Amino acid sequence: MDTEIPFVQHVFDTAQAKHSVLQLASFLFQDGAPSGDIRITTLAEGTTNSLFKVSRRGTSPAGAVETVLVKVYGDGTDITIDRNKEITVHKLLSDNGLAPLPLVRFENGHAYQYLPGTPCSTEAMRDETVWRGVARELARWHVSLPIMKHDSPEAVIQFEPSIWSTAKKWLHNLPIRTAEQRALKEQLDIEFQHLVKTLFSSSSPESLVLGHGDLLSGNIIIQDSDSDNALSIKFIDYEHATYCPPAFELANHFAEWTGFNCDYNLLPTTSTRREFIREYLQTCQDLSRGPNDSGLNKGRDSTDIAVPSRIAEAEIERVMAEVDAFRGFPGFYWGLCALIQAEASTGSIDFDYAGYATKRLAEYWAWRGRDGTDLGKISADVSLREEKWAAL
């Protein structure tokens, strides 16, 4: 049953967090009472928001502990983030078992049910049991959620919300106070058209999946798992969730292995990306089977021994090539976002947006400089990121 998320006209004060929590308590806890032992822990102060874990021991004899998460938006982030879209997507994800239930909205944030687990780290992303779990959860998203199919690149570009419409919006909102800013905007407008021309195939329909769009380590929650080769993974923070080609989602996630410091030595190698994509595609196939389809093929001998239907190597290589083609777009995309935040930020979030924009756009220019070049051909002047991306 679809229920509307309640809205409270209250501005959450991070300096007086307990007072603000008490104002929202009737929406956060089951019995609605603000009494009890409330504990507030700052979990993270990311580039666009602050996150608080709020726990309270219930008043029932059992005294069960209730825990919720409160997300407070950073100042100036509404320019780059559509908060209404974020809540709509969050509710859709919750309805499909992919996200915790949103509880309440307020003027500068929202709260939702706590998702148990351990936040991933940049180091942990390289653990095979972690990245296999990420690949499986990513497949769940892309298979479980609505897919948008379009007959032409023009239709894809116009569709909202998507990475393309978001990039156009960010281009429109780039700062133009100085001559240098205006020149950069003009240049990036031209580059966007180049991306559209390069990444689209006019001869085949484009399918867009509803992707997370921001799978950095802090948005990955590691949970207990019975599997030997993959941990159970959940995703949080859906402010950048949008429609995108699967290849963008994959390329964007691989780019996030380097962390906010952009340490390109941490990029997954070609062989790791291939195995990640194999896990992703296999899970997509397994989840897409019909109720009467076991997904098994009989062996070629006369016995009835069934073997799982495996993803063809040609399909893996096709997706690998698409991801390689998209590897420059994340740098362009997040470079635009950081340029806007560098101008709009009031300092409530301690982050060097300008420096980050420079790093991410440098990734794009490095890709652009190798446009059409065989990925395996590494010259002496190639960037460290391109060199590490090509590593076997």
Burial (CB count <10 Å: 0-12, 13-18, 19+), residue 169:
middle
Distance CA 246, CA 251 (A): 9
Check whether residue 231 and residue 347 sit in a common domain.
yes
Would you state the pLDDT for residue 289?
79
45-54, 80-89, 333-342: least confident range:
45-54
State how many domains the chain has. 2
Model confidence at 350, in pLDDT bands (50, 70, 90)?
confident
Check whether residue 241 and residue 381 sit in a common domain.
yes
Check whether residue 104 and residue 167 sit in a common domain.
no
Answer whether residue 160 is part of any domain: yes
SS3 string of 91-145?
HHHHHCCCCCCEEEEECCEEEEECCCCEECCCCHHHCHHHHHHHHHHHHHHHHHC
The string of pLDDT tens digits covering residues 93-104 is: 999 999 999 999
Positions of E strands within the chain: 7-8, 38-45, 49-57, 65-73, 102-106, 109-113, 118-119, 148-150, 206-211, 220-223, 232-235, 242-244, 296-298, 306-308
Check whether residue 167 and residue 279 sit in a common domain.
yes
Would you state the pLDDT for residue 276?
99
Let me know the angle formed at the C-alpha of 118 by 113 and 121, rounded to the nearest 5 degrees: 125
| CATH number where 229 lies | 3.90.1200.10
Task: Please determine, for residue 61, whether its predicted confidence score (pLDDT) is greater than 60.
Answer: no
Q: Name the token pair of 70.
A: 């409160």
Check whether residue 334 and residue 223 sit in a common domain.
yes
Check whether residue 75 and residue 146 sit in a common domain.
no
Task: Please determine, for residue 45, whether its predicted confidence score (pLDDT) is greater than 60.
Answer: no
Check whether residue 77 and residue 173 sit in a common domain.
no
Distance CA 327, CA 251 (A): 5
Answer whether residue 302 is part of any domain: no
The conformation of residue 57, written as its DSSP 8-state character, comes to E
Answer whether residue 334 is part of any domain: yes
Check whether residue 106 and residue 126 sit in a common domain.
no
The conformation of residue 181, written as its DSSP 8-state character, comes to H
Check whether residue 85 and residue 127 sit in a common domain.
no
Would you state the pLDDT for residue 299?
36
Would you state the pLDDT for residue 226?
73
- Sheet with 7-8, strands from edge to edge, namely 7-8, 102-106, 109-113, 65-73, 49-57, 38-45
Would you state the pLDDT for residue 237?
94
Would you state the pLDDT for residue 205?
63
Check whether residue 242 and residue 137 sit in a common domain.
yes
Distance CA 135, CA 131 (A): 6
- Please report where in the chains the tokens 């608080």 appear, as a residue: 52
Would you state the pLDDT for residue 137?
98
Top pLDDT among 343 and 349 is at 343
The string of pLDDT tens digits covering residues 163-195 is: 999 999 999 999 999 999 999 999 999 999 999
Distance CA 72, CA 57 (A): 23
The string of pLDDT tens digits covering residues 185-237 is: 999 999 999 999 999 865 566 789 999 999 999 999 999 877 778 999 999 99
- Decide: pTM greater than 0.75: yes
Would you state the pLDDT for residue 303?
41
Would you state the pLDDT for residue 152?
83
Show which of 113, 147, 170 is a domain's final residue.
Answer: 113
Nearest to 182 by CA among 339, 380, 9, 368: 339
Average pLDDT over residues 269-280: 98
Check whether residue 52 and residue 184 sit in a common domain.
no
Answer whether residue 16 is part of any domain: yes
Would you state the pLDDT for residue 153?
83
Show which of 113, 145, 174 is a domain's final residue.
Answer: 113
Task: Please determine, for residue 381, whether its predicted confidence score (pLDDT) is greater than 80.
Answer: no
157-171, 262-276, 369-383: least confident range:
369-383
Task: Please determine, for residue 361, whether its predicted confidence score (pLDDT) is greater than 50.
Answer: yes
Answer whether residue 355 is part of any domain: yes
Let me know: does 232 contact 223? Beta carbons within 8 Å: yes
Answer whether residue 164 is part of any domain: yes
Average pLDDT over residues 8-22: 93
Answer whether residue 225 is part of any domain: yes
Distance CA 91, CA 241 (A): 12
Would you state the pLDDT for residue 183?
98
Task: Please determine, for residue 380, whether its predicted confidence score (pLDDT) is greater than 90.
Answer: no
Answer whether residue 65 is part of any domain: yes
Check whether residue 125 and residue 49 sit in a common domain.
no
Nearest to 361 by CA among 338, 332, 329: 332
Show which of 67, 94, 113 is a domain's final residue.
Answer: 113
| CATH number where 19 lies | 3.30.200
Mean pLDDT of the chain: 88
Model confidence at 155, in pLDDT bands (50, 70, 90)?
confident
Q: What is the domain extent for residue 375?
A: 118-290+307-390
The string of pLDDT tens digits covering residues 281-326 is: 999 999 987 544 433 333 334 344 444 689 999 999 999 999 999 9
Would you state the pLDDT for residue 305?
42
Top pLDDT among 130 and 299 is at 130
Would you state the pLDDT for residue 34?
62
